[in-house]
Structure 1
């Protein structure tokens, strides 16, 4: 029922004042303090492949050296939808319509009277005043006064009519709202809701309606709750809805509170905003468009776009995230946002329509009924330039290597980016998490690391020596999220409160650590499997899955907070798994073989590969099954399954010679859109590069796993590693980059780690 809920003055944790302190540190010009000297001398680094289990190759065909991602324009990614067409391409760049300047009522009145009388009211005087200039000035002044009075009255009338119209529209919405609710929960509750909404309309200020609140009666049928939420989004522009406990604290109910003109509610549902009431009824709810971005992560791009459009970025959804370092295009959907609004992204005074400089562009708009969700894609099309191919490698040898790569595929390893860019890889921190050794977690995060910038190294050493939390908080730059979170936890809970400090790290980052450990174990298992058994066919004890895993409403599912039952995540059961035996071994290929991404629901192969997983409990001290009872998100690791071998699709390559290393060798979306011709190969060019294009599909068997976007994805860097037979570690790329004329480094062979020979 409707009632006033007077909130107490509970404890509110505000900022710690670090922002004002840091803001006062100043710096040179507009450069932030954490971007100045001592913070920008870090050395790029990554762990070595062998340290994270990457050791094997599928074939022993000769590889060669090459520079990968030397420039961000050398890495192009285009999303491939489930239907496989159309691939996300920016072919139609929509520019925003320039709005016309609104003329004032005063100006329009002048124009109307001028037109009616056939004279210029501002420049002419009355016919009597023409005889004497002074009288003309007096007449003009009187005319100006008349215009001012008329204008004021017209504006007052316009405002009054507008307010009356708004009130009429609100009352109609309330009537329709109550009628729809009555169909769901009955007339009595609908009347109470109408009374509550009438109070909101009658309230003249935010203060009067701030504490008004309405609780629905407990509704135990999920479909009915979903229907009510839909009705609220369509008609409830005066309120924001959420789910909370009722006044007794015993039942979970839907709560309505007023939207405020000046105040803010963190839990406000943007879909209930004013723009919903203006959305055309015959238009689908979602706008779909292509997002083209340059050297920017998808999440960052969407947050930036949300700020530009002054919209919550949660209104947007997409099928998968794309790499930062590269040129990428993907489909995005937005809830009840017009294409004209989103097209304003393409208008920037800063870049003056120099589209090569834009960090992102949008186009190819359409309206659709359903939003995109994670996994709504077949895969990704990659365009990769591999530069500085050694002169001793012939074009024929390149073709042979590409053909072998397409035929045999590559080991579907989790790539090095999965394990971070620090000397202490993410899976080491994840292992400490899974052991629940929170002191070790804190020490690993805060301790000195190879390659750190000098000021950051100084901050780490200082904290190690003196344990001065406040000093460390002032010294650590804000982009070290985990470090600052742990230190903030120490500041709030005490220097010995390791668990509480570590749990102060953002949830998604904690999950990255534990998922990295799962990835490490999978990599180790894959290397063992390929070095001890065949790399071209299944063996007895291997595991395969029974085709695509469909949603089964009766099957065990991973619970989510989402009201939509279709978004529950399906677990793979034992009945979905087939173990290879002597009888069925000829029915499957190496591409069918999967290995578990270890978790508390996964099953193990029935051969010696299982020993790698058993080592987790014995050697690493990680017991996944014991984590089932822990409710912390980083321990929610049911696991999934991942194909051991993957093959590129639709692969084609071209060898190009060039002289200028700064020229992009593949066409970007902007190049194609502006009809720029491809960069030709120079016959006697000083350098050679391979322009390679291929598709990697996602693993549809994992579409309902808890870490879908990670566990189902194949890494393009691992695909290229197989082609080149070259270590993908950063130090190898840096070494090659420093060589004017790269020389061949030792070529690895299956079962051995490059760089560790």
Structure 2
């Protein structure tokens, strides 16, 4: 799983990124460096059919190698999704592993930290330590959840007394800024101060605040609840006939009702959130072959809350086994642990209560354990088995050392650009051009292969059931306009498509509103993908021009070199994908009050020649209005490419948009990345393709070892979808186990297991690309071919 989150930047502040995918496109054999005419197709709408990963890399600017003078190392990546293990690394350097799946440890923490006895309910819940069969909902959810109340009820009951607050907390203010403009938030806090100064003043004598309101019902409900909670029910919210949100003071008789409860009397026998350790429940999320957002969305629905309840440091790959920390606001550990009964190919555990939630970028990187199968080095076909084994070990030892010492070009991997027929950067450029209808149409593209397979049960095309259902649902919407029928077909995990169809079903021509109805992290992905495409092409151009040399005009981060220059102290921040991003000025609509700035500056000729700066210090900007561009040939390339048809005819210095989320301030990313100093590898001989060489955290938790005993599936498949997932783990596309012909069982193959660490926003696939000189190819399950 190729996670991502990035490096630092120059001029202003920085953020990080992460993601992964499989896509394909028409082959391009010519280079994309300085020849912009070859890039025209990158901003069209290529149809993703099963194809060569190298051609897909060419389309998104992944072209150059640092060391191009070695033989290729051929291997297959992710033939089973258990071949790609990713464990998040916390800021303190600790690698996250799933160790326990019950809620007792959280109760013990509360008891030990506060010197009080944890309540019996949270302390005694036992959870079966096994991972359920599949990743999707079933009818046992209600039974698993029992009669537990939702998080909003918990918040009401657990909220501490009716203390008069003179100001809104920083966390609550940040939440309000997510919903409203800075001006509206100031008006609201001013109204609240007036109410507190004169609690008996009549509501009609106090000003009302009016602001535009979203049409998304789930978000509207959450906003109403947050207004009530943040302002202690002293401010009431309602929507007028024009859809405008009206916020006014509650009547004096109602101001002390609602959320505030007398301290200690909310629910007898239950610890307050502060007694437990804090309002945020931190837990470990283990998942197999799932997107982070897919897993969180399922948990959200089971708990009957919203995605805003959960926070995480960065998204993780789908086709992998990943482990990461997540935080949940005012969710009890026993409720979350209870979901282990219904979670499929996922699990939660290691619960602790904390005073603060996780933020994007609250990680230092990821540890990867990667199994490469069918390994071979070009030119070694005639060697004996023992010679091939020795050659592979020598090759990997030298290559890993070079990845540490010389690094690799820090490209954004294919995962950044999506899996379907239209790449995410294509959607992003349409959004930045203001073509919101075109962006919606691009998101709702589907492969005719998938639709044909959905219509014809006898079709020989191996297409996943989810892909068939997606294509069929979108086609229903396009041809009939029937929203309920379309949404019934489209799997829940395709949240962007679902949001668009639901919104356009109500307001057929409101394409901007439809885009804004998509979950924020997801809609940001589109414009960030365009930035990533430009950056990939730029780093290839810069490497072609100057290579390892540090030259006049190269950019470095001011904050990284305080010993060499005076610079202001800053704190890093990251975007939804973990990418360090420069933040806008305080007077800009996209301003976030929590943002701190990171600055970059250009090196003089004397500084470049001084030897004080290495190529590992050099950064390139992601396009935005608040970054500087290199004052050399590389900087001129940005202007030329982005102004071209292939670049979207955009101005790199004018990336402000009326919509906050589409107004790009920019960011910086290191040209080179390198693996951590602590790396290792093993080379194995094998004959059984089903052999698993490394135990997952779940295997370890269940007392398994790596190797033969670990090859069992977690649970037997109980549906077509589950069969696909099980087959995917075993590397077969038709949902059945594969038996090798007897003649092949005697032929030994080589598998390499690599263990290494990367920083935030650095892609393992790009490290492996450099290691093998492009010889490692990601396995593409045949049942994914319809994308």
In structure 2, what is the Cα distance between the partners aligned to 1:181 and 1:51? 55
Displacement of 1:591 in angstroms is: 1.0
Aligned to 1:716: 764
- Alignment match of 1:689 (pick from 740, 751, 754): 751
Assess, with a 3 A threshold, how the Cα gap between structure 1 residues 310 and 557 changes in structure 2: closer, same or farther.
same
**Partner of residue 26, structure 2:** none
Consecutive unaligned residues in structure 1, runs of 5 or more: 1-41, 101-169, 197-211, 219-228, 260-264, 351-356, 699-712, 739-757
SS in 2 for 1:528: helix
* Alignment correspondent of 2:213: none
Is this contact kept in 2: 1:292–1:330, CA < 8 A? yes
Cα distance change on mapping 1:604 and 1:559 into 2, 3 Å: same
| Alignment partner, residue 90 of structure 1 | 98
In the other structure, the counterpart of 2:372 is: 386
Q: Which residue is equivalent to 1:413? A: 411
Match of 2:535 among 490, 505, 522: 522
1:362–1:428 CA distance, 2 compared to 1 (3 A) = closer
TM-score scaled by structure 1? Answer: 0.61
Shift of 1:530: 1.4
Q: Where do 1:488-527 residues align within 5 Å? A: 508-527=521-540
2:162 matched residue in structure 1: 177
Provide, for residues 259-300 of structure 1, a one-character-per-residue CA deviation record: whole Å limited to 9, x for no partner. Answer: 9xxxxx9x99xxx99679851653321333322222222222
Matching residue of 1:647: 674
- 1:603 pairs, out of 622, 628, 632, with 628
Corresponding residue to 1:64 among 69, 73, 79: 73
In the alignment, is residue 677 of structure 1 matched against residue 677 of structure 2?
no
Q: Distance in 1 between matches of 2:559 and 2:167?
A: 46
**Alignment-derived partner of residue 642 in structure 2:** 616
| Residue aligning to 2:171 | none
**Secondary structure of the equivalent of 2:73?**
coil
Task: Give, in angstroms, the shift of residue 639 of structure 1.
Answer: 0.6
Q: Indicate the residue corresponding to 1:582 in structure 2.
A: 606
TM-superposition CA deviations, 1:433-479 (whole Å, max 9, x none): 32234454455455664754426799999999x98552799679525
Shift in alpha-carbon separation, 1:684–1:645, aligned structure 2, 3 A: farther
Give the counterpart of 1:279 among 258, 268, 272: 272
Counterpart of 1:397 in structure 2 is 395
CA contact (8 A) 2:235 2:247 kept: no
Matched residues in 2 for 1:329 and 1:173: separation?
A: 32
Q: Distance in 2 between matches of 1:257 and 1:49?
A: 64
**Relative to 1, partners in 2 of residues 1:331 and 1:584: Cα closer, same or farther, differing over 3 Å?**
same
1:369 shift after superposition: 2.6
CA deviations 1:347-392 (Å, max 9, x no partner) are x2x7xxxxxx952223333333322211111111111111110273
Of the candidates 638, 655, 659, which is equivalent to residue 632 of structure 1? 659
CA contact 1:49–1:727 (8 Å) conserved in 2 = no
SS in 2 for 1:605: coil
Structure 2 residue corresponding to 1:547, chosen from 538, 559, 563? 559
Contact 1:213 1:258 in 2 (8 A): no
SS in 1 for 2:88: strand
Question: How many residues in Structure 1 have an aligned counterpart in Structure 2?
Answer: 557
Mapped contact 1:427–1:516 kept (Cα < 8 A): yes
CA contact (8 A) 1:473 1:484 kept: no
Q: Distance in 1 between matches of 2:64 and 2:625?
A: 27
Following the alignment from structure 2 to structure 1, what is the Cα–Cα distance between the partners of residues 601 and 706? 48
- Could you report, residue by residue, the CA deviation over 1:83-116 in whole angstroms, capped at 9, with x for unpaired residues? 112x11122332679989xxxxxxxxxxxxxxxx
SS in 1 for 2:688: coil
Cα offsets for 1:473-529 (capped at 9, x unmatched): 96795256666666667665567x776776676655443322211111111101111
- Under a length normalisation based on structure 2, what TM-score does the superposition of the two structures give? 0.59
8 Å CA contact 2:624–2:652 kept in 1: the answer is yes
1:728–1:515: structure 2 CA closer, same or farther, 3 Å change rule? farther
Alignment of 1:206-285 (within 5 A): 236=232, 239=233, 278-279=271-272, 281-285=274-278
State the 1:550 CA deviation. 0.7
For structure 2, list consecutive stretches of 5 or more residues without a partner in the other structure: 1-47, 108-118, 122-155, 169-188, 210-224, 381-387, 457-469, 561-568, 574-582, 710-744
The answer as to whether partners of 1:411 and 1:644 remain within 8 angstroms in 2 is: yes
Question: After the TM superposition, which residues 29-68 of structure 1 pair with which residues of structure 2 at under 5 Å, given as runs?
Answer: 44=50, 48-60=56-68, 61-68=70-77
Q: What is the CA deviation profile of residues 6-39 of structure 1, one whole-angstrom value per residue up to 9, with x for unaligned ones?
A: xxxxxxxxxxxxxxxxxxxxxxxxxxxxxxxxxx
Larger radius of gyration: 1
The partner residue of 1:569 within 595, 601, 612 is 595
User: Cα–Cα, structure 1 residues 233 and 445, in superposed 2: closer, same or farther, change >3 Å?
Assistant: closer
Shift of 1:317: 2.2
Structure 1 426/490 Cα, relative in aligned 2: closer, same or farther at 3 Å?
Answer: same
What is the RMSD computed on CA atoms of the aligned residues? 5.3
Q: How does 1:438-477 map to 2 (within 5 A)?
A: 438=436, 440-441=438-439, 444-445=442-443, 449=447, 452-454=450-452, 468=479, 470=481, 477=489
- Greater RCO, CA 8 A, separation 6+: 2
Contact 2:84 2:370 in 1 (8 A): yes
| Conserved? CA contact 2:552–2:608, under 8 Å | no
Measured after TM superposition, the shift of residue 406 of structure 1 is: 2.3
| Other structure's SS at 1:609 match | helix
CA distance in structure 2 between the aligned counterparts of 1:188 and 1:444, rounded to whole angstroms:
49
Tell me, yes or no, if the aligned pair for 2:369 and 2:754 is still in contact at 8 Å: yes
Contact 1:93 1:364 survives alignment (8 Å): yes
> SS in structure 2 opposite 1:616?
helix
SS at match of 2:317: coil
- 8 Å contact kept, 1:469–1:490: no
